[in-house]
Structures are given as C-alpha cells and as structure tokens.
Structure 1
Amino acid sequence: MKKVVYFLTLGLMFGFSSCSSDEDVLSSESTNSVVNSTSKTARTAVTDPAIGTTTTLNLTSALLSSGITTTGGKYWENTYVANTNLSVDIFTFSHTGTSAGYNYWDGFIVSNVNDITNYGSGAGPGGSDGWVPHQWGTMAGSGFGTSTTITPGTPGTSGDPYIVAYWSSYLDPVSPQGTTFSESSFSNWIKVGNTGIYEVLGLKINMHPWPYYGCLSGDGFARAFSSGDHFELLIYGVDENGTISSPITQSLADYTGSSLVMPTGWVNVAATKLQALGDVQYLVFQMASTDADPLYGMNTAAYFCLDKLSVKRVD
C-alpha cells in the first residue's frame, strides 16, 4: 500500500500539484481506489480447447510491436490505459491503468526489458523515484528459454517477452481462502479459458529488480533484509464454484542464518505445489514480506515476474 501512496504522490507532483500533508495523500488514494474498481472489465471470451489439451503461455514479440520503448526494450502499450486486460492464448490477465492526471497501473503487463540496473538511489520522495520510469525488468534479463547470447543487464539487448506483475495490496481481502472470488475484489488474477476447468501443470517465477535491490540494500521505503526476513509470492486457486483455495507459497527472498537467498534466474514452481491448488478457473496472486507496516502494508516493492504458465483442461 505504501508503494501506491508513493506512485500517487509522484503523479500529483509531476502531473498537477504536490500534496501538503500525509492526510492529503491518503485522501487522494481513496479516489485512486475507485479508479481500480471501475477499470476492471468483463473478461474477453476465449474458446476452451478440447478436454485433455495442454496449453502453455506463449509470449511472442508481436505483443510488443506497438510497445513503449524504454531502457533495455519495450513494455506493453496499454500499461496506463483504463479498461484493458491483457489476453494471451487462453489466459486473461487482470490489469488496471490510468493516465488521468497521473500514471498508475496494477495487475499484469508484458515486457521484454533487459535492464537490471539498481535505480534505488534516487533523491526524491522515499529515495525510490528512480524506479518509476524503470519498473519493467526481470532479474533473469529476459523471458524463460531465451538464447544464452542474451546477457541480463545489457540495455538495448532485449530477449523473449515475459509477464511483469504489480500487486496492489490495499485492494485485496486478507487471507481470502474459503471465500468466494470476484474479479473486482482482487488486484492480480489470471482467468484460464472460458468456462472450462483446468489443472495447473507448470509455472516459472522470477524476481523483479525493484524488490531484489530493496531486499539487498533498501530503497527508501524498504529496508535491507537481515537474518529472519523473508519475501514470498502467495498463489491461490479458484474452483468451478468460485471458492478460493488455501495458498501455495513460492519464496522470492529468504534470509536464513547469515545468507540472503534470492535466485536471479527463472524458478520452476514445484508440480506438487501446483497440484495442491486443485482444478481451477482462476489463479489469484498476493505477496507477503516481513518488512511491512501495520497500516500501509508491505514496504518491500510488490512486484514479481512470471512465464510459461501451463495448464491442462480437465472438464
């Protein structure tokens, strides 16, 4: 939530005016919450494949043919466009965007940016202002399966596209397992197919540069991790009745003893974990960190990256 306040503050500063107090920022955030709710759209109908068919997310360069050029590649042209969801293959990815007075987005976008520079040393509000124009990367430097000739951190040398996600924690209900899912109640969800039911077979996850460097050395909001700290992705399944499963947990950063473990390559979510989600119509994503504020939520930047989601239709 604190990150949302920061994005909004920057938009107000550079868009039309600066806030005079913290209360002004929080008041404006309520308006932004309305934007999130109203920009959720009815999902685009897709055709379910035949029962027994396996479908794996295939992100092609065509998705970025009209993308926005930035350091190290391009990101999705509709990132700041309201009432748009990202649809690829049989997958519909949630997305909220606005450019009305300030730029804001959450949910999922596609990118091929290869820049893994640490932009956390800015002198603006919170010391994280350098990240705002550079929030499009993944620590692997490219999508899963890219040729080894693509070197992470070489701006201008883009590889395969991948998905970048930003989670707006203030929107989501806490611990939603056992409750009934609705698209408008969650920031980050993926709809699988149309009316079919699917088993999740595979998923690749990667650390985003902003939380990576935040956990490593702090970023103005986040503090550097120390022994006992951890940062993880929570994944829920939604069954044919709309009931949300218990989450599976995928570690993104874990400070065990004297060592901070943060894989920079694509990590395969274990098949045994994915099976625990059951047969699904949706996947829902949330995040957790030991660096969190009781009121504003996580201080760790709420970004992650994914690729190669694979499912099989079972009904």
Structure 2
Amino acid sequence: MRKIFLALVVCLLCSAVSADVIVLDLSKPAEAIEYNEQGVWRDVYKDEAFVQSQGFRFSHVSSSPHYYNGFVASRSTTVLESANFDDQFGCMARGGVSGEGSPYLVAYWDAYAESLSIERSCEVTFPAPYYTAGFYVCNNPYTYYAIQKGNSYAAQFEQGAWLKLIVHGIDTSGNEAGTVEHYLADYRSEKPEAWTLNKSWEWVDLSTLGKVSSLYFTMESSDQGERSMKTPAYFCPDRLMVLTAPASVDESLATTTKLYYDRVAGAVRVESAEPMEAAVYNMRGALVMRQRVEGTASLDLSDTPSGVYIVRCGGKSLKIVK
C-alpha cells in the first residue's frame, strides 16, 4: 500500500508540466539549525524560535525551560523504549527519510494549550499559496511504546484501539479547505495480524486539499481523557512536498504515448506520436533522468540504483521496480 501511495504522488508531481516541486530538506534550512550532543535542536526550549526551511515555517512555542509545543528539529538516532518523556525527541526510523541520522521534525500537539488560544500548536505556513502533494510521517518512540506497552497515564492498545493524525488545509481566504486523516496505529480489526503500528516512514497524500496557504495538524485517539487524549500526542514529519501550479494530464497525448520496460536490458522504451519530453523520477520525487523523445527512444536505467521509479511522458506514467 505504501508503494501505491508513493507512486501516486510521484505521478502527480511528474504530471505538473509547468509546476515547480518544493520539497522540505532540513539538511538545507533557511537558517542554520544547531543540534546538541543528543542530536536535538538547541532552541527547543527557546521561545520565539522557529524551524524554517525551503520557505516553510513551522510553529514552535516554549513557555518554560521544560515545555514546548509545535515542531522541533532532530537528528537523534536514540530509541530508549521507555514509553516516557525521555524518548520524546526521537523517531522510530532513527533518522529522516534520507536515512539513519539524517534530520527530521518532531511535533508535539498540545490540545489543551490550543483550546486556550487562537494559535494552532502544530502549524506550517507557506510563503505563498501552494498546491499540496503530501509528506512522510513516522511515529515518535514515546508514542510508539506507550501504545505498545502503556504507561502510568496512557493505556496499552488492545483490539479496537486507534490513533490518527489529521491534517487540515487552510485556503487563501483563511477557511478550512478540507482534511486528510492518517492512522498511526490501527487495532480496530478483530484479527490481530491486521493491526498496524507505524514504525517507518509512510507517505500521506494531501493532493485532495488543493491550493492552501498553511497546514495545521491535530490528533485523535481511542484512549481519551477529560481534556485531551491520553496517548502521547507526538509524531514525526519529513519531506513535505508542494507544487507551485496544479497538476494536469493531457489525455490526448496520453492516448498516443506508449511505455514499455525491458527488465533484461534495464531500459524503458518510449513511443510517442508527438515530440515530447520523457522524465524518470525516484520515489522521493527527485528527477533522475530527462530525455527528448521524437518517435521512439530508449531510457537506459541500467546504471541507476535498485529501487522503484516512475517514468512520465505525455501524460502517461509507468512504475518500474529494479
């Protein structure tokens, strides 16, 4: 299922003929991010400090030396399995989408603080309205092990329990454009083998939100307290992707374009009735190859690393696994 979601978003990105794709990359922030010895952002308990990268600004509030809500940058690889606060700055993948030790965000949603203020505790604002594509999400260790083992406040999950992240899009008029829900833990099935508990990076498709000026995040859990849910309200996002123009598919070109994958030769054969450009993208949305096609062409992928790729040409796409 994860591969299907990823293929869909890359197809969406590739079909945006005149659109630029903007991807969050915390290794190249707008302002330098300093980390402590544990790999956690040094400004985690500094008020009026924000993580900013690729034009995205992530909310952050700290009202005391031991409290924050919003987003924190981290590159911690530590997972203590404690089901407690000492595991709040990590990620179950032990790094961002780029690999172990690479930077990512940790978010803490404080429902009670948000209820006392007009400010959203977990919000990302854009420098201009963008068309949302999606982002990756992974569970935080504090949340993960509280679900798996329980602690003095949160219940261990059993059949019927669930935790979900809700993404809200805000349009250019300041109104809610829609929401997208993603389950970080889902024990609703009567069959234990069908239960899911996120521990790796999963793609969340936001394309249905359309053009928005900001996103904010809330959470819901089956383990609910008087003021907020009892399950720790942490999650880890990375690689937020947006487009500067809407994606589109030229159906007339798609009907005259054919794509074939020759696994033995490690090449994709492209046939097109009209001159056009073919492009190959990896599953992170990065362009791997671009080639002009006039009639027929062969895209040689024999030297590319093993993995999943999307070939896009004339409004038609082909997913290959090599």
TM-score of Structure 1 vs Structure 2, range by shorter chain: 0.5 to 0.7
Partner of 1:140: 93
1:170 to 106, 112, 122: 112
Partner of 2:121: 187
2:227 to 268, 272, 296: 296
Report the TM-score, using the length of structure 1 for normalisation: 0.67
2:35 to 50, 62, 67: 67
Matched, 1:242 2:145: no
1:218 to 143, 150, 175: 150
Partner of 1:82: 47
Distance between the aligned counterparts of 1:138 and 1:84, measured in 2? 22
Distance between the aligned counterparts of 2:217 and 2:52, measured in 1? 17
Structure 1 or 2, whichever has the larger Rg, is 2
1:173 CA displacement: 5.3
Matched, 1:230 2:159: no
Matched, 1:96 2:61: yes
Distance between the aligned counterparts of 2:190 and 2:92, measured in 1? 24
Distance between the aligned counterparts of 2:32 and 2:155, measured in 1? 34
User: Identity across aligned pairs (percent)?
Assistant: 28
| Alignment check: 8 A CA contact 1:64 1:111 kept | no
Matched, 1:160 2:78: no
Cα distance, 1:191–1:98 mapped onto 2, change above 3 Å: same
Could you give the per-residue CA deviations for residues 201-236 of structure 1, whole angstroms, max 9, x where no partner exists? 131010111111111110211111111111000000
Distance between the aligned counterparts of 1:161 and 1:247, measured in 2? 27
Note the 1:21-40 alignment, pairs <5 A.
Answer: none
1:65 CA displacement: 5.9
Matched, 1:113 2:90: no
Q: Which letter maps to 1:53?
A: D
| Alignment check: 8 A CA contact 1:246 1:277 kept | yes
Q: Which letter maps to 1:222?
A: A
- Any stretches of 5+ residues in structure 1 without a counterpart? 1-50, 121-130, 151-158, 175-182
2:137 to 205, 214, 217: 205
Cα distance, 1:132–1:61 mapped onto 2, change above 3 Å: farther
1:305 to 223, 233, 236: 236
Q: Which letter maps to 2:190?
A: G
Cα distance, 1:135–1:280 mapped onto 2, change above 3 Å: same
Q: Which letter maps to 2:208?
A: A
Partner of 1:54: 21
1:118 CA displacement: 1.0
Cα distance, 1:201–1:61 mapped onto 2, change above 3 Å: closer
| Higher RCO, 1 vs 2 (CA within 8 Å, ≥6 residues apart) | 1
Distance between the aligned counterparts of 1:57 and 1:291, measured in 2? 32
Could you give the per-residue CA deviations for residues 235-279 of structure 1, whole angstroms, max 9, x where no partner exists? 000000000133210010010224231121100113xxx122121
- Any stretches of 5+ residues in structure 2 without a counterpart? 1-17, 247-322
Distance between the aligned counterparts of 2:72 and 2:98, measured in 1? 19
Q: CA RMSD in A?
A: 2.1
Partner of 1:314: 245
Which has the higher mean CA deviation after the structures are superposed, 209-218 or 256-265?
256-265
Distance between the aligned counterparts of 2:87 and 2:35, measured in 1? 15
Cα distance, 1:134–1:215 mapped onto 2, change above 3 Å: closer
| Alignment check: 8 A CA contact 1:64 1:75 kept | no
Report the TM-score, using the length of structure 2 for normalisation: 0.66
Q: Which letter maps to 2:171?
A: D
**SS of the residue 1:98 aligns to:** strand
- How many residue pairs are counted as aligned between the two chains? 225
Distance between the aligned counterparts of 1:66 and 1:92, measured in 2? 17
Distance between the aligned counterparts of 1:110 and 1:244, measured in 2? 27
**SS of the residue 2:112 aligns to:** coil
Q: Which letter maps to 1:160?
A: S
